[in-house]
Amino acid sequence: MPVDLTQSLVIGISSRALFNLEKEDRIFREEGLEAYNRYQIEHEEDVLPPGAGFPLVQAILQLNTLVSERRQAEVVIMSQNNANTSLRIFNSIRHHNLDISRAALTSGAPLAPYLRAFDVDLFLSATELDVQKAIDAGIAAALIYEPPQNFNPLTDQLRIAFDGDAVLFNDEAEKIYQNFGLEAFVAHEATYASQPLPEGPFAKLLKTLSYLQSGLQIEPSPLRTALVTARSSPAHERVIRTLRAWGVRIDEAFFMGGVSKTEILKAFGAHIFFDDQDAHLRGASQVVPSARVPYPSQQTVEAIIDNGGIPSNDQELIQVGG
Residues with a known catalytic role: 163
Would you say 257 and 230 are in contact if contact means Cβ atoms under 8 Å apart? yes
Would you say 9 and 213 are in contact if contact means Cβ atoms under 8 Å apart? no
Helix axes 172-180, 182-191, angle to 10 degrees: 140
Q: How far is residue 318's CA from residue 322's CA, in Å, rounded to a whole number?
A: 8
Element (H, E) at 183: helix 182-191
Would you say 126 and 319 are in contact if contact means Cβ atoms under 8 Å apart? yes
Would you say 104 and 76 are in contact if contact means Cβ atoms under 8 Å apart? yes
- Which residue pairs from 130-137 have beta carbons closer than 8 angstroms and sit at least 24 positions apart in sequence? 130/14, 130/78, 130/80, 130/322, 131/294, 132/294, 132/297, 132/300, 135/201, 135/293, 135/294, 135/295, 135/296, 135/297, 136/112, 136/296, 136/297, 137/112
Q: How many CB atoms are located within 10 Å of the residue 265 CB?
A: 27
DSSP 147: P
Q: How many CB atoms are located within 10 Å of the residue 262 CB?
A: 20
Would you say 175 and 218 are in contact if contact means Cβ atoms under 8 Å apart? no
DSSP for 29-64, please give it. Answer: HHH-HHHHHHHHHHTTTSPPPB-TTHHHHHHHHHGG
Partnered with residue 254 across adjacent β-strands are: 228
Q: How far is residue 195's CA from residue 238's CA, in Å, rounded to a whole number?
A: 7
SS3 163: coil
